Structure 1
Amino acid sequence: MGARLREPPRHPVVRRRRGRLPAPDARVQRPDEEERPLKGEQEFFAAATVEWADAGDGISERVLSRGPDGMLTRIARWAPGTTSGAEVIRHEYVEEVYLLEGELTDLTLQRTFRPGDYACRPPGMPHGPYTTGTGCVMLEIRYSAG
């Protein structure tokens, strides 16, 4: 009789307590997996393997991780000539943005941002609207303030 193969043990779903990091052996969640209570732990993977998806209005995205309540980490690519609209933007989540390529102009501030520029916006903070003549690529992280 041959030896019976056993499935490897499954690690528990990460349940993070405030101020604590998840255990180093916590289960890995890939972008294509079902949502978990929190964004799962992810070891390095090639972001370029995530396909660009149309996010609408001249923006495409590579979603690197997603969680409940709008938690999201993505690379957003704005095509040249894209505008976020005519209105000032406000939302109910924290948003961090790091500009990787191109230029992004805040039409309210009349100020242009370039690679290496960073923004952190708490819920309700007014910003934008934005436009880009050259196109731009940014890393965007969204999470709940609670």
Structure 2
Amino acid sequence: MKSTQTYWNPLDTSHSGQWKAVDGSNGNILELTIAEDPITGDYTRLTQFKNGYSTECFGAKSHDYPEEIFIVSGRVYDQAFEQWLETGTYASRPPGEVHGPFIADGDVLIMEMSFPSQSIHNN
């Protein structure tokens, strides 16, 4: 069962120590997993991009499972789709869909819901 913390504000400064820098980003991308199922691997995560940061060094990405993203604030350019993902944008990515690299215009906050339990390799 997916772990949760009921009624908390992960953006409150009292939780700033829980955010982890993404390896290879020099602190320009921070992540905070806010719910996770230890059995299936399904998770919900918040990701912060610093203004101007490009994920070019990571290249484009794809996963063998579906994921959903919601741009909470800011905007990020998705080079795979040649489009800006603005505040309020929702995307449902099927397994294998290529996305990124990304360029942040301003500070960006993204909520990601990923479903490794639905991997195309699990079938």
d(CA) in 1 for partners of 2:65, 2:31: 19
**Count of paired positions:** 109
CA separation of 1:126 and 1:44: change in aligned 2, threshold 3 A:
same
How far did residue 41 of structure 1 move? 5.3
How far did residue 42 of structure 1 move? 4.7
Instruction: State the partner residue of 2:79.
Output: 107
Match of 2:111 among 129, 132, 139: 139
Would you say the 8 A contact 1:122–1:145 is kept in 2? Answer: no
How far did residue 102 of structure 1 move? 0.9
d(CA) in 2 for partners of 1:107, 1:125: 13
Instruction: State the partner residue of 1:45.
Output: 8
Paired AA for residue 19 in structure 2:
W
Paired AA for residue 31 in structure 2:
E
Give the structure, 1 or 2, with the largest relative contact order (CA under 8 Å, sep 6 or more). Answer: 2
Q: Any stretches of 5+ residues in structure 1 without a counterpart?
A: 1-37
How far did residue 101 of structure 1 move? 0.9
Paired AA for residue 118 in structure 2:
A
Q: Who wins on radius of gyration, i.e. which is larger?
A: 1
The residue correspondences of 1:1-146 to structure 2 (distance < 5 A) are: 38-40=1-3, 42-47=5-10, 48=12, 49-50=14-15, 51-56=18-23, 57=25, 58-68=28-38, 69-85=40-56, 87-143=59-115, 144-145=117-118
Give SS of 1:123's match.
coil
Give SS of 2:118's match.
coil
More helix by share: 2
More strand by share: 2
**CA RMSD after TM alignment:** 2.0
Q: Any stretches of 5+ residues in structure 2 without a counterpart?
A: none
